[in-house]
Amino acid sequence: MKKHLFLFLLLGIGQHSYSQKSGQIAYEVVRKVDPSGMRIMINGEQLKPGDPNFPSDIPDTRTFGQKVSFSGDYAKESRDEENMVVRTVMQGPGTGGGAPQRTNMGRPFEEKSYVDIKRGMVLTYLTIGKDKDAKTYKSETAIERTPNWQITDQTKKIAGYQCKKATVQFRNEPYTVWFTTDLPFQYSPIPALTPEKGVALLIEASREQFKATKVNTDEIDPKMVEPDIQAESVTKEQLADIRQKAMADFHQKLMTGEGN
């Protein structure tokens, strides 16, 4: 009887340990709006910041959700606003007036992002076109952790996990990173701000914030977060060029359509 009881306890511990190695973290992301990246149309004319008729009521920030699902050696990232572009059209005199119109439009590509936790790599897949004309490109980028972290004694709970506070210089300004070592892998929604051990649950800076709102450790099938995509390997710079060209072509088609 004692042997059977001992075996049962061992099995129970093993199952609990496994469940802690997979799950999902939901982040709320707040970013300052960069008007230069928006397409503002008034009476068919595209306006830029500084133009007299450029709208003054554009929100200062935008908020969206970002999730990371993790299991085994991989994590898969996704955003609520993924693969969408917001186009704002203003109606002026002679067009009936009224409030600005916002139209959600699909981007001219599909982008997926994974993290190879074991190798410390970010894997980005970019698909241009659809159906038989679709072509997918893949870029692997090593996570280069920003050095000179100043870890403090300050702690607080975020999404139910005890976190330590650290500060680090990044993108020419101080960033604050709150991270927990109670999750059994390394991760940060900003790869360069991945802690030496643990997971970043809150990142704060003057122009952006990532805050974990919920962490669950339900079991996830590793196949759900492992990339299984046939793709042509390119460099990070080449992928950026491909993405930029696709967006430029997309904008040109929109302008042509509006001109007609």
At 145, the amino acid letter reads: R
Query: Average pLDDT, stretch 195-210?
Result: 97
Out of 207-211, 224-228, 229-233, give the one with best mean pLDDT.
Answer: 207-211
- Judge whether residue 218 has pLDDT over 60: yes
pLDDT digits (tens, 9 = 90+) for 88-117: 555 555 544 555 555 555 678 899 999 999
* Structure-model confidence comparison of residues 81 and 170, the more confident one: 170
**Mean of the per-residue pLDDT values of the chain:** 82
pLDDT digits (tens, 9 = 90+) for 128-158: 988 888 999 999 999 999 999 999 999 999 9
Q: How much is the pLDDT for 238? A: 97
DSSP string, 77-130: EEETTTTEEEEEEE--TTTT--S-EEEEEE-SEEEEEEEETTTTEEEEEEEES-
Q: How far apart are CA 64 and CA 30, in angstroms?
A: 7
Q: How much is the pLDDT for 252? A: 76
Q: How far apart are CA 81 and CA 166, in angstroms?
A: 29
Global pTM value? 0.76
Domain boundaries, the chain: 22-253
Q: What are the backbone dihedrals phi and psi of residue 38, each rounded to the nearest 5 degrees, phi first?
A: -100, 155
Task: Tell me the residue length of the chain.
Answer: 260
What dotted CATH number matches 22-253? 2.50.20
- 84-90/40-42 β-pairing: parallel
DSSP 3-state of 101:
strand
Query: Average pLDDT, stretch 235-248?
Result: 93
CA angle, residues 82, 88, 89, in degrees to nearest 5: 150
For 119, residues 6+ apart whose C-beta sits below 8 A from its C-beta are none
